[in-house]
């Protein structure tokens, strides 16, 4: 059955509308809205359906992990305020790694809140080139592997888990719920993106060695609550849906953490073997 002229007209309008939206937001696939919510204790999700941004609240102000794209920042701000917190109370801004979908918005968050922007040393060169609308990337404090970031009784530890970027950072902290203490891991990323060169990489000669070290570091971290820079890494939408059931907190998922590492390490080893064979 062929569509009528009216249906074709409607479909054309939808297509044109989608094209206009894509033109207005080149990151529309990343920026699909998702309701903010409490993950556990003082840790809140304030990102999009795909991008993992987290608000950690304290009596002395708040910490934000991942500003995402610059045009994601208004969504993050709206999420923070919907939860009942002030966006301007963010005192520290952290990031997971120097890709635009996680740290491009740093300058805008800094402009809106005055937050201290903390970055991992090895990502400084890449972040220096991340200048949306010509704005220099703020870097108020440069940290190194194992250093701590503290605010209002909360301590986060930075773990260098390089490979995905040279300064890819996994953050850990403690959370408390119903009298128990949980180890929270907020994974930067340990995935190998399409096009990554693992063998004879002139710009990043030690990339494969960094991945191997990164997996070793991640497997040694105690993990009860698994979070990450992308929602799909830890099944966020599915777990969020289960929060309403009133059962055990689905984000307490050490098995999911190990399964993600297993999957990513298998993928890394396969791609490394392929590239090594091709190089021979």
Which pairs count as long-range contacts for 244-250, CB under 8 Å and 24+ apart, including other chains?
A: 249/40, 249/177, 249/225
Q: Residue 140 sits in a domain of what CATH number?
A: 3.60.15.10
Q: Tell me the pairing of strands 37-40 and 43-45.
A: antiparallel
Give residue 132's pLDDT: 94
Average pLDDT estimate for 212-235: 98
11: in domain:
no
Alpha-carbon distances of 130 from 58, 99, 124, rounded to whole Å: 29, 8, 10
Torsional sign, CA 244, 69, 65, 193: positive
Predicted confidence (pLDDT) per residue in 138-149, tens digit: 999 999 999 999
204: in domain:
yes
Q: Evaluate if residue 20 carries a pLDDT over 50.
A: no
25: in domain:
no
1: in domain:
no
9: in domain:
no
**H helix runs in the chain, sequence order:** 5-24, 73-82, 100-103, 106-113, 124-128, 207-220, 236-243, 254-279
13: in domain:
no
7: in domain:
no
Total residues found in the chain within this entry: 280
Q: Evaluate if residue 272 carries a pLDDT over 70.
A: yes
3: in domain:
no
| pLDDT, greater one: 24 or 103 | 103
Average pLDDT estimate for 240-247: 86
Q: What is the total count of domains within the chain?
A: 1
Q: How confident is the model at residue 21 (pLDDT cuts 50, 70, 90)?
A: very low
Give residue 13's pLDDT: 40
Give residue 26's pLDDT: 82
Query: What percent of the chain shows pLDDT beyond 90?
Result: 87
Q: Evaluate if residue 246 carries a pLDDT over 80.
A: no
Query: What percent of the chain shows pLDDT beyond 70?
Result: 92
- pLDDT mean across residues, the chain: 92
Predicted confidence (pLDDT) per residue in 48-104, tens digit: 999 999 999 999 999 999 999 999 999 999 999 999 999 999 999 999 999 999 999
Domain residues for the domain of 251 are 36-279
């Amino acid at each position: 059955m062929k569509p009528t002229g009216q249906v074709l007209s409607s479909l054309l309008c939808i297509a044109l509308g989608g094209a206009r939206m894509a033109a207005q937001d080149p990151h529309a696939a990343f920026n699909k809205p998702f309701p903010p919510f409490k993950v556990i204790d003082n840790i809140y999700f304030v990102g999009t359906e795909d991008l993992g941004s987290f608000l950690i609240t304290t009596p002395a102000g708040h910490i934000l992990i991942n500003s995402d794209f610059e045009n994601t920042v208004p969504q993050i701000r709206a999420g923070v305020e919907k939860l009942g917190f002030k966006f301007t109370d963010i005192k520290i801004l952290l990031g997971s790694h120097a890709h635009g979908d996680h740290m491009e918005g740093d300058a805008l968050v800094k402009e809106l809140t005055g937050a201290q922007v903390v970055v991992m040393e090895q990502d400084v060169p890449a972040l220096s080139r991340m200048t949306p609308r010509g704005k220099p990337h703020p870097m108020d404090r440069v940290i190194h592997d194992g250093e701590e970031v503290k605010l209002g009784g909360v301590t986060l530890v930075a773990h260098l888990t390089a490979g995905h970027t040279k300064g890819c950072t996994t953050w850990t902290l403690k959370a408390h719920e119903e009298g128990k203490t949980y180890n929270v891991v907020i994974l930067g990323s340990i995935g190998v993106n399409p096009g990554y060169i693992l063998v004879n990489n002139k710009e990043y000669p030690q990339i494969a060695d960094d991945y191997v070290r990164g997996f070793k570091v991640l497997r040694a971290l105690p993990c009860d609550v698994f979070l990450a820079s992308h929602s799909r890494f830890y099944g966020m939408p599915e777990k969020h849906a289960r929060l309403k059931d009133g059962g055990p907190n689905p984000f307490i998922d050490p098995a999911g953490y190990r399964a993600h590492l297993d999957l990513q390490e298998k993928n890394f080893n396969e791609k490394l073997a392929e590239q090594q064979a091709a190089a021979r």
